[in-house]
């Protein structure tokens, strides 16, 4: 896949999550939490979602094109990031052009769906959350964050992670925040779950002894 198209799509969808769903939902319902939805993601309270290359809501479906402001007008919502909730943002402005490649959007949607399935198997009583500030899907169990990301400035492609609140040491923990595995190393729900389970066990043991 073209790296530039993937990056543009990832950033565009991050902006949609923050400016079109999380912000309006926070102002209306007091929560920024998003969730995986068919073909993409959506609000947990606000009935608005992204499915592939479309914005889907009560007023119908609209292509993800034009500016965020224009998309918000078409959906009948007041756009904008949730104010005063978090410092890191998508970096997108309301008048930025939204450009979404269908293939890249499908890669991101599939990764979120795979991550959601693995996280629910890891901790059946915990509902995974898609957080708009980092645009990653995660669950927290015993002071350890488990999740999947479509990429960020440090790691531009999809990856899975295990992030203990207290840093662990050992070969398993290969990132500054804990452990990271590119999607290619955890391509199925079973493989991803194995990574999460190993991270859970190593974190509980304090690691080092199993490195």
Quote the pLDDT of residue 211: 37
Residues of the domain holding 20: 3-102
Shared-domain flag, residues 193 and 135: yes
158 and 166 in contact (C-beta within 8 Å)?
no
Q: How far is CA 46 from CA 23, 106, 128, in A?
A: 10, 23, 17
- Whole-prediction pTM: 0.95
Give the containing element (helix H, strand E) for 72. Answer: helix 68-75
Same domain, 134 and 81: no
Q: Are residues 72 and 151 in the same domain?
A: no
Q: Which residues have CB under 8 Å from 90's CB, separation 6+?
A: 11, 14, 15, 17, 18, 19, 81, 132, 135
pLDDT at 59: 87
Say whether both 98 and 181 belong to one domain: no
Q: Is the domain of 137 the same as that of 89?
A: no
pLDDT of amino acid 207: 65
Q: Average pLDDT by consecutive 10-residue portion of the chain (211 residues)?
A: 94 98 98 97 98 95 96 95 93 97 98 98 98 98 97 95 95 96 98 98 76 37
pLDDT value of residue 208: 54
Number of domains, the chain? 2
Number of neighbours of residue 62 by Cβ within 10 angstroms: 15
Residue 33 confidence (pLDDT): 98
């Amino acid at each position: 896949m073209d790296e530039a198209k993937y990056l543009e799509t990832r950033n565009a969808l991050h902006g949609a999550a923050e400016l079109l769903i999380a912000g309006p939902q926070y102002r209306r319902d007091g929560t920024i939490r998003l969730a995986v939805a068919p073909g993409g993601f959506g609000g947990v309270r606000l009935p608005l979602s992204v499915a592939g290359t479309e914005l889907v809501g009560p007023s119908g479906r609209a292509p993800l094109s034009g500016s965020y402001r224009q998309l918000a007008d078409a959906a009948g919502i007041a756009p904008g990031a949730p104010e005063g909730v978090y410092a890191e943002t998508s970096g997108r402005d309301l008048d930025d052009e939204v450009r979404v490649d269908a293939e890249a959007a499908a890669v991101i949607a599939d990764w979120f769906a795979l991550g959601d399935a693995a996280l629910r198997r890891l901790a059946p009583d915990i509902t995974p959350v898609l957080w708009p500030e980092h645009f990653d899907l995660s669950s927290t169990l015993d002071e350890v964050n488990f999740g999947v990301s479509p990429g960020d400035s440090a790691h531009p492609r999809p990856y899975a992670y295990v992030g203990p609140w207290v840093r662990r040491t050992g070969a398993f923990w290969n990132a500054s925040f804990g452990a990271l595995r590119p999607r290619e190393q955890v391509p199925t729900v079973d493989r991803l779950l194995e990574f999460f389970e190993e991270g859970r066990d190593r974190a509980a043991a304090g690691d080092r002894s199993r490195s």
